[in-house]
Structure 1
Amino acid sequence: MKFIKALLLGSAVALTAVPAFAQQEITWWDFFSGGDGVRMKALIKAFNDEHPDIKINGTTLEWGVPFYTKVRTAASVGEAPDVMTYHLSRVPLAVSENILSPITDQDLKDAGLRKSDFFEAPMAAATENGKLYAVPLDIHAIVLYYNADLLKGSPYIDSNGKLTGISTMKDFEAALAWAKDHGVKTPVTYETGAPAGIWRVFYTLLSQEGGTFIENGQVLPGDNTAKAVKAVQIMSDWREKGWAPEQADYESSVALYTSGKAAFQLNGVWEVPTYKDLVNKDKLGFKWGAIEIPPWMGKSATWADSHAFAIPNQGDKTISGEKRAAVMKAIGWIEKHAIQWADAGHIPAYKPVTEGDAYKKLEPNATYAPLVKTAAFDPKSVITGVASPTYDAALNLLAPAVQGYMTPEDAVEQMKSELQGMLK
């Protein structure tokens, strides 16, 4: 009898130890390092703590070509994650390769989201052939950083230390000339020796001219070629006049700014937390700010992309049922808590966050947030986007022209020829 009682008691204890639910485990891949990585890991932990019925198991992989190569391979053999981060500029190629599972209306309902909750530009970039393939997390663009101390005494800083008087390219180049004449080593710094920095500045200038990089299957058709040449010529002139660095890698281009040797920097919003951290540690010896890039070439436009959440296919299948609903619940939760992601400098794509009071108090983010209306995403094409043939062309052709090793005309013509061949 004692044995039976003990057995019954043990069974009762065992039953109470079993959860009343089946925990859904989500396999998650992202490419976030540095400050982005810290913030995303914090969001994942907060979600897991708040949702005992769902557990995100996150893995961070190397950004760029390594990440997208691994995703392509994993999806083809049915070993992809349940959810992953993705650049919207890569969506057309991914769809052509059948890597992404469409996000349905039911998916959005499970996430507690609506299409109208998001800004128009990233939603358009996430949509292919009328279907939504990703949920945008942010809009990240290049902005114009400035060193208010180096510009003190110029017509370009007001009494509050804010940038002023720079609306056109003529204004900006006058400011660069003023800085050079007043002993500034590098009036404007950006990544001149790598594809991403070259492409972002080039595409911004081209877009501000009203230029189109790809239209109706043609690379730089009609007068877009001349507009592209003009953009490259401007970038080359900056280097020729000693205003921009020669073949600077990313780290060097940032160091020129943080060390107080550059009056301006053209770089992504993702560096905002870097400068905030340096200020907090008393390691940034100047007053700084960041604004949306002015319409130098006549039109307001700035290169932009978005980090987004996507569900990969598993061979010829995709996740469904409770697992898929859990994935969407996680996506929805992170979108609604994206003010923490905004702290990384990004502009949340989820309008209720970006239009909320907390974001409006976040600087300099709130200052450059209007660029959501003028964000110039890469053309929708299988040859554009992060780690694409277009990036290769920027490194192999546009960069040499910027550095004076070939003419802008030759660089643009060769780029047209190479990329056009890949579209046929």
Structure 2
Amino acid sequence: MTGSVSKVLASAALVMGMSGPALAVVELEWWDFLAGGDGVRMKALIDRFNEEHPEINITATTSEWGLPFYTKVRTSVAVGQGPDIMTYHLSRLPIALEEGVLSPITDEDLETAGLSRDDFIASAIEAAQDDDGQLMAVPFDVHAIVAYYNRTALEGTDWLDADGNLTGLDSIEDLTEMLTWAKENGFSDPLSFQTEGGGGTWRMFYTLLRQQDGELITDGEVLAGDNLDKAVRAIQILTDWRSEGLIPEQAAYPASVALFQSGRAVLHINGVWEVPTFNDATEADTLGFEWFANEVPQLLDRPATWADSHALAIPNDANMSAEEREAAMTAIGWMQRNSLAWADAGHIPAYSATVESAEYQELQPNATYASLADNAEFDPRSTIAGVASPIYDSINNLVAPAVHGFLEPQDAAEQMKQELQALLD
């Protein structure tokens, strides 16, 4: 894809026997990393867009999530062979800025899409800007971890209020008490999450760090000042839960989900993207209990929840025509106004009008945990942070082993500080 003209498929000639000129169809190449339920829903959205916009045709390609996708984007954009529109994690925005792979989104672009910055959840639109306030992508959702729980098991306890929501979990001690109760009442792994690998452990660690108002990176310094102590505390909390048998030993991602589905965990902390999994299990009558999900409770000094955002972005392509850019922004605007279908995947739409709509308020548990958008904590703004970044490697190689007793929390935090600082220096 080097020439813009080659992708505008209509000629100016009249079609014989028809009452008007041939329709000029702008071809847009779309790249994403969306698999599973996300992929199904995005494909359906693209198909609907194409049906409603005969003048624009989106052809979509899905690549492997994580580093393979972003490596493909970097190399293809560098040689002018990138797509016209793509999905992008906002946690990787600093890396994108260093690589120069994104085309800034101007106010004129937003006007073409029928959008403005005020249309979006504040935390998402902030994460989509560079340090000078230039918008680099258009946020499509906020996806975060939530607390899934077994309502049936907690019925009649002090941890469930009259509306069936979690209550009384205002400290680490409160949650430990609930998990201990669950252990004593037959739940072999009371709190399940991905304890093997960097993803799940990172989300838990970062949530606990930010709930202490801790910062991983401050002015280019990793775990500066008392942030090191806060990191140690976050690791120690997880380590204590593991040593008491309250979280599973090295559970891979699928296993962590299965522990909750099988009734072995009373609580499951994972991304909002698992809502369809549990909805499907309920509809198939294979779950055996009633479940729900709330925002992760505030256990420490302040409310905070790890979060990221899928955004829609335009690659930095000097050969992109004005017609293609207009078509891309038209697609981005349409996707926002139709993001209720995306919310069905568990994500919180970044487009505020969708979240405020009556239709969204009927989506449960989505509408209940949508409050977490106000407490969303995105990854540190750094080239070593974000999806498939060195931070994930450090968590996998140091923090996860410490949680499982192979390294002291203090040593893990100090080594993480040293390794990550070397990358920044």
With structure 2 as the length reference, what TM-score do the two structures score?
0.94
**In the aligned structure 1, how far is the partner of 2:14 from the partner of 2:196?**
68
For residue 410 of structure 1, what is the aligned residue in structure 2? 411
Please state how far the C-alpha of 1:170 moved relative to its aligned partner.
Answer: 1.3
| Cα distance change of structure 1 residues 383 and 279 upon mapping to structure 2, 3 Å threshold | same
Counterpart check, 1:103 vs 2:105: yes
Q: Which SS does the other structure have where 1:150 is aligned?
A: helix
**What are the superposed Cα offsets for residues 15-56 of structure 1, whole Å, 9 maximum, x if unpaired?**
529863210010000011111111100000000000000011
Q: Equivalent residues in 2 for 1:21-420 (5 A)?
A: 21-128=23-130, 129-158=132-161, 161-314=164-317, 317=318, 319-420=320-421
Q: Distance in 2 between matches of 1:348 and 1:297?
A: 27
- Distance between the aligned counterparts of 1:391 and 1:161, measured in 2? 35
Deviation at 1:345, TM superposition (A): 0.4
Structure with max Cα Rg: 1
Shift of 1:182: 1.0
Contact 1:218–1:420 (8 Å) recurs in 2: yes
Partners of 1:152 and 1:130 in 2: CA distance:
48
* Corresponding residue SS for 2:190: strand
Structure 2 CA distance for aligned equivalents of residues 31 and 371 of structure 1: 24
Distance in 2 (alpha carbons) for counterparts of 1:345 and 1:12: 47
Q: Which 10-residue stretch deviates more, 345-354 or 124-133?
A: 124-133
Give the superposition deviation at 1:163: 2.4
* d(CA) in 2 for partners of 1:160, 1:330: 39
Cα gap change, 1:160 to 1:104, in 2 (>3 Å): closer
Corresponding residue SS for 1:312:
coil
Distance (Å, rounded) in 1 between the aligned partners of 2:257 and 2:197? 13
Deviation at 1:162, TM superposition (A): 3.4
Partner of 2:424: 423
What amino acid is the match of 2:297? Answer: P
Q: C-alpha displacement at 1:357, in angstroms?
A: 1.1
Deviates more, 1:225-234 or 1:153-162: 153-162
Deviation of residue 124 (structure 1)?
A: 1.1
CA distance in structure 2 between the aligned counterparts of 1:145 and 1:185, rounded to whole angstroms = 17
CA–CA distance in structure 2, aligned partners of residues 90 and 116 of structure 1: 23
Cα distance in 2 for partners of 1:340, 1:30 equals: 17
What's the TM-score once normalised by structure 1's chain length? Answer: 0.95
Q: Deviations over 1:43-93 (max 9, x none)?
A: 000000000000110111110011011111111111100010000000111
Count of aligned positions: 412
Say if 1:150 and 1:184, in contact at 8 Å, map to a contact too.
no
2:203 and 2:15 map into 1 onto residues whose CA distance is 61
- The answer for unaligned runs of 5 or more in structure 1 is 1-10
CA distance in 2, matches of 1:14, 1:256: 65
Structure 2 unmatched runs, 5+: 1-12
Letter aligned with residue 279 of structure 1: T
The one-letter amino acid of 2:83's match is P
Does structure 2 retain, via aligned residues, the 8 Å contact 1:144–1:267? yes
Deviation at residue 119 of structure 1 after TM alignment: 1.1
Q: Conserved in 2, the CA contact under 8 Å of 1:154 and 1:178?
A: no
- The alpha carbon displacement at 1:318 in A equals 5.2
Amino acid at match of 1:329: T
State the one-letter code of the partner of 1:100. L
Instruction: Determine the C-alpha separation between the residues in 1 that align with 2:53 and 2:286.
Output: 39
Give the alignment's Cα RMSD to 1 decimal: 1.5
